[in-house]
A and B are shown apart, each in its own frame.
Chain A
Amino acid sequence: MSLNRFLKQRETLLALILVAISAGVAWRAPTFIGLANLHEIATDSAILIVMALAQSLVIMTRGIDLSVAANVALSGMAAAQLSMHAPWLPIPLVLLFATLVGLALGLVNGVLVAWVRIPSIVATLGTMSLFRGLTFLAADGKWVAQHEMSAAFLAFPRLDVLGLSLLAWIGVLGIVVAVVFTRHVALGRELRALGGNPSAAKYVGIRETTLQLFVFAVAGAVAGLCGYLWVARYAIAYDGVALGFELQVIAACVIGGVSIAGGVGSVTGTVLGALFLVLIYNALPVVGISPFWQTAIVGAAILSAVILNARGDRTDGLRLILRRHPAH
Chain B
Amino acid sequence: MMAATVIPHSPVPVREPILELEGIEKSFPGVRALADARLSIAPGEVVALVGENGAGKSTIVKILTGIYQPDAGSLRIDDQPVHLESTQDAWKQGIAAIHQETVAFDELSVAENIFLGHHPRRDGPWWRGGGLVDWAAMRSRARELLAQLEADIDPDTPLKALSVAQKHIVEIAKALSHEARILIMDEPTASLSQREIHDLYRIVAGLKRAGTGILFISHKFDEIFDLCDRYVVMRDGHYVSEGWIADVDSDQLVSMMVGRTLTQVFPRVDTVPGEEVLRVERLGNPTEFDDVSFALRRGEILGFYGLVGAGRSEVMKALFGITRPTRGKVLINGREVQIANPEQAAANRLVYVPEDRQVAGAVLGMSIKDNLTLPSLARLFPNGILDDAKERALTREYGLRLVVKAASWDQLLSELSGGNQQKVVIGKWLATRPDIIILDEPTKGIDIGSKAAVHAFMSELVQQGLAVILVSSELPEVMGMSDRILVMHEGRVRAEFDRSTMSAEAIVTAASGSH
A184 interface residue, CB < 8 Å from B? yes
* Contact of A325 with B381 in the complex, beta carbons under 8 Å: no
CB-contact partner of A316 in B359, B365, B375, B377, under 8 A? B365
CB-contact partner of B346 in A189, A192, A205, A327, under 8 A? A205
Q: How far is the CA of A325 from the CA of B414 in the complex (A)?
A: 16
B334 interface residue, CB < 8 Å from A? no
A204 interface residue, CB < 8 Å from B? yes
* Contact of B377 with A189 in the complex, beta carbons under 8 Å: yes
Residues of chain B within 8 A of A193, CB atoms compared: 363, 366, 370, 374
CB-contact partner of B31 in A186, A203, A328, under 8 A? A328
Residues of chain A within 8 A of B28, CB atoms compared: 325-326, 328
A311 interface residue, CB < 8 Å from B? no
B331 interface residue, CB < 8 Å from A? no
Q: How far is the CA of A2 from the CA of B343 in the complex (A)?
A: 32
- Report the minimal beta-carbon distance from A323 to chain B, rounded to whole angstroms: 5
Q: How far is the CA of A287 from the CA of B237 in the complex (A)?
A: 73
Residues of chain B within 8 A of A185, CB atoms compared: 384-386
A187 interface residue, CB < 8 Å from B? yes
B468 interface residue, CB < 8 Å from A? no
List which A175-201 residues lie within 8 A (CB) of chain B: 183-187, 189-190, 192-193, 196-197, 199-201
Residues of chain B within 8 A of A323, CB atoms compared: 358, 417-418, 421
Complex interface bits, B99-121 against A, C-beta within 8 A gives 1, otherwise 0: 00000000000000000000000
Q: How far is the CA of A328 from the CA of B34 in the complex (A)?
A: 8
Interface size on B, residues (CB 8 A): 54
Beta-carbon nearest neighbor of A328 in chain B = B33
- Report the minimal beta-carbon distance from A219 to chain B, rounded to whole angstroms: 20
* Contact of A203 with B354 in the complex, beta carbons under 8 Å: yes
* Contact of A204 with B374 in the complex, beta carbons under 8 Å: yes
Listed residue (B343, B363, B375) with the most chain A CB atoms within 10 angstroms of its CB: B363
A290 interface residue, CB < 8 Å from B? no
Residues of chain A within 8 A of B445, CB atoms compared: 324-325, 327
Complex interface bits, B24-59 against A, C-beta within 8 A gives 1, otherwise 0: 001011110110000000000000000000101011
Q: How far is the CA of A202 from the CA of B358 in the complex (A)?
A: 14
Chain A interface size range: 20 to 34
* Contact of B362 with A328 in the complex, beta carbons under 8 Å: no
- Report the minimal beta-carbon distance from B83 to chain A, rounded to whole angstroms: 19
* Contact of A264 with B386 in the complex, beta carbons under 8 Å: no
List which A199-231 residues lie within 8 A (CB) of chain B: 199-205, 207
- Report the minimal beta-carbon distance from B238 to chain A, rounded to whole angstroms: 13
* Contact of A328 with B364 in the complex, beta carbons under 8 Å: no
Residues of chain B within 8 A of A3, CB atoms compared: 365, 412, 414
* Contact of A203 with B414 in the complex, beta carbons under 8 Å: no
* Contact of B377 with A328 in the complex, beta carbons under 8 Å: no
* Contact of B385 with A328 in the complex, beta carbons under 8 Å: no
- Report the minimal beta-carbon distance from A54 to chain B, rounded to whole angstroms: 19
Residues of chain A within 8 A of B361, CB atoms compared: 200, 203
A116 interface residue, CB < 8 Å from B? no
A316-B58 CB under 8 A given contacts A3-B412, A325-B29: no
* Contact of B364 with A320 in the complex, beta carbons under 8 Å: yes
Q: How far is the CA of A135 from the CA of B328 in the complex (A)?
A: 54
* Contact of B56 with A203 in the complex, beta carbons under 8 Å: no
CB-contact partner of A328 in B56, B343, B365, B386, under 8 A? B56
* Contact of B364 with A196 in the complex, beta carbons under 8 Å: yes
* Contact of A202 with B322 in the complex, beta carbons under 8 Å: yes
A319 interface residue, CB < 8 Å from B? yes
Residues of chain A within 8 A of B266, CB atoms compared: none
- Report the minimal beta-carbon distance from A327 to chain B, rounded to whole angstroms: 6
Residues of chain A within 8 A of B365, CB atoms compared: 3, 192, 196-197, 263-264, 316
Residues of chain A within 8 A of B58, CB atoms compared: 327-328
* Contact of A325 with B30 in the complex, beta carbons under 8 Å: yes
CB-contact partner of B377 in A190, A196, A199, A326, under 8 A? A190
Residues of chain A within 8 A of B363, CB atoms compared: 192-193, 196-197, 200-201, 263
List which A254-299 residues lie within 8 A (CB) of chain B: 263-264
Residues of chain B within 8 A of A197, CB atoms compared: 359, 362-365
- Report the minimal beta-carbon distance from B442 to chain A, rounded to whole angstroms: 14
A186-B412 CB under 8 A given contacts A325-B445, A328-B28, A328-B56: no
A-B contact pairs, 19 of them (CB 8 A): A2-B412, A189-B377, A190-B374, A192-B366, A193-B363, A196-B366, A197-B363, A197-B365, A199-B360, A203-B342, A203-B354, A205-B345, A205-B378, A207-B343, A263-B363, A316-B364, A316-B414, A326-B62, A327-B58
14 further A-B pairs in the complex, CB-CB below 8 A; given A186-B384, A200-B361:
A2-B415, A183-B386, A193-B363, A196-B363, A200-B360, A200-B363, A203-B342, A204-B374, A205-B343, A319-B414, A325-B28, A326-B59, A326-B68, A328-B59
User: Which residues from chain B sit less than 8 Å from chain A, CB to CB?
Assistant: 26, 28-31, 33-34, 54, 56, 58-59, 62, 68, 237, 320, 322, 341-346, 352, 354, 358-367, 370, 374-375, 377-378, 381, 384-386, 410-412, 414-415, 417-418, 421, 428, 445-446
